[in-house]
Structure 1
Amino acid sequence: MALKPPAPGAEALRQAILSGELAENGRLLPERALAQRLSVSRAQLRGILDDLASDGLVFRRHGQGTFLQPPPVQGAERLGALAQRVSPHDLMEVRLDLEPALAAHAAERGRAEDKVRLAQLSKATRSAADAASYERADDLFHYKIAQMAGNAVFLTLFEEIRSLRQAADWTRVRQDVLGVDEISRISDAHTTICDAICAGQSEAARLAMRAHLEQVWQTLGRAEG
């Protein structure tokens, strides 16, 4: 069913784009088709998309398009075979080395607007209604920190790990043990990480991220048991 054109105004356009009705498998329609469906010029559409990307609400990837969630790493299909050879322990070992460093860099390099968005994402993990909603909010929170680190190589490494986790379907396994109390406890750790990053306290952010990942590893360990 065709989407009814929104009322004039940037906010109406933003909400129409974010609704998901103009996306296929999380990827927005091509710009020409998107502009036609929204009854706007491509220049106006690009301005809205620029603002949404700056807010961390859409993600652009050259050659792949614009996504409503962090996009898959390029060449992700090759990760399927690797995912069959690595264990959750292997992935957590790498995350424990990489993500505390990302948090420290984010504290040093994150812009004011990035920190505002990170605080919103942190709050979203706490208000998640169920495990599936929490996992999406958690994914966006960690991805934003990787972006804020300001290093394309670090971000690519993070995306590889993220894609491996998805290929192995460990997210579904973790959802099986995530109850309301567990989500609240892990979200408290997000708040601690966010506060350190927003205060520009790199070492505190590093330590908070490591403690959080160790907590996540304990949760995943129970899921395996």
Structure 2
Amino acid sequence: MADEGGLVERLSELLASGEVPVDGRLPAERDLAERFSVSRAKLRLALDRLEKEGTIYRRQGRGTFAAPPVSHGSTALCRLAREATPQDVMEVRLEIEPALAAHAATRARNGDLARLEQLMLATIDLAERATYETADDIFHYNIAVLARNPLFLEIYDSIRTVRKLAAWGNIRRESHTPEVMAKFGEQHRALFAAISSRDGPKAARLMEEHLRDVNHMVLRGVRHSGA
């Protein structure tokens, strides 16, 4: 029977294997326990460790995910995705995310910061637009997680879902030139520095400045696309 460290390694191999479905949802705990021939109690310990590392995401009533989950099944969010404009989404992000950054600066634990730094570095010096988009998404999502407020996180989840389901969702990705990605990566670096130094007001200010630049890029993309 595998020890916890070995089990964590085998679970990590599963996450990297390409077996995980497109929505990122992992098999049920019962199925994973049977697959690795361990008790569910031992499996939960390994999953707890991966969650603390930021490798997986567990959401009550929705399961365990290899990436931040998106609520595809919500009728209300699907309707919002049809009705909301890119500007609608950015207005809400500008209200919510500076507060999340400020809370993350005061509430993140040292281990959280080590993981957030790795996520920040993943957004820097990327040539592929899709790769940058994924790294950027997970970096911002983990700031929301580190705010440690379940209601804030639910609101942020809704924002992410609307962005991903909306017909105009690819505008932002297509606007990511190498210059834009480099600029935003450096903004992420400064934002992480503020969070890691526990400077909540500065983290909020840097997040707002970053999102205003994102908003400018989104509006430019919408004008060029005619959306």
**Shorter-chain TM-score above 0.5:** yes
CA distance in 2, matches of 1:15, 1:147: 21
In structure 1, what is the equivalent of residue 69 of structure 2? 71
**RMSD, aligned CA:** 2.0
Q: Does 1:213 align with 2:217?
A: no
Residue equivalent to 1:200: 198
In the alignment, is the contact (CA less than 8 A) between 1:58 and 1:69 conserved in 2? yes
| 19-28 or 114-123, larger mean C-alpha shift | 19-28
Matched residue type, 2:116: L
AA partner of residue 12 (structure 1): E
* TM-score, normalization by structure 2: 0.89
Equivalent pairs counted in the alignment come to 219
1:116 shift after superposition: 1.1
Q: Check whether the contact 1:128–1:137 (CA below 8 A) recurs between aligned residues.
A: no
Q: CA deviation at 1:57?
A: 1.1
Q: Does the aligned pair in 2 maintain the 1:106–1:145 contact within 8 Å?
A: yes
Which secondary structure does the structure 1 equivalent of 2:103 belong to? helix
Q: Is the 8 A contact 2:8 2:47 kept in 1?
A: no
Q: 1:168 is matched with which residue?
A: 166
CA distance in 2, matches of 1:48, 1:58: 11
Q: Which residue of 2 aligns with 1:82?
A: 80
SS at match of 1:178: coil
What 5-or-longer segments of structure 1 have no aligned partner?
none
2:180 to 179, 182, 203: 182
The CA distance in 1 between the partners of 2:74 and 2:169, in whole Å, is 17
**Unpaired runs of at least 5, structure 2:** none
Per the TM alignment, residue 45 of structure 1 is displaced from its structure 2 partner at its CA by 2.0
What does residue 191 of structure 1 align with? Answer: 189
* Map 1:43-58 → 2, pairs under 5 A: 43-58=41-56
The CA deviation string for residues 149-177 of structure 1, in whole angstroms up to 9 with x for no partner, is 11111111111111111111444211112
Counterparts in 2 of 1:27-42, with a 5 A limit?
27-42=25-40
Q: What percentage of residue pairs aligned between the two structures are identical?
A: 41
Change in Cα spacing, 1:36 to 1:127, as seen in structure 2 (3 Å) is farther
Instruction: Give the TM-score taking structure 1 as reference length.
Output: 0.90
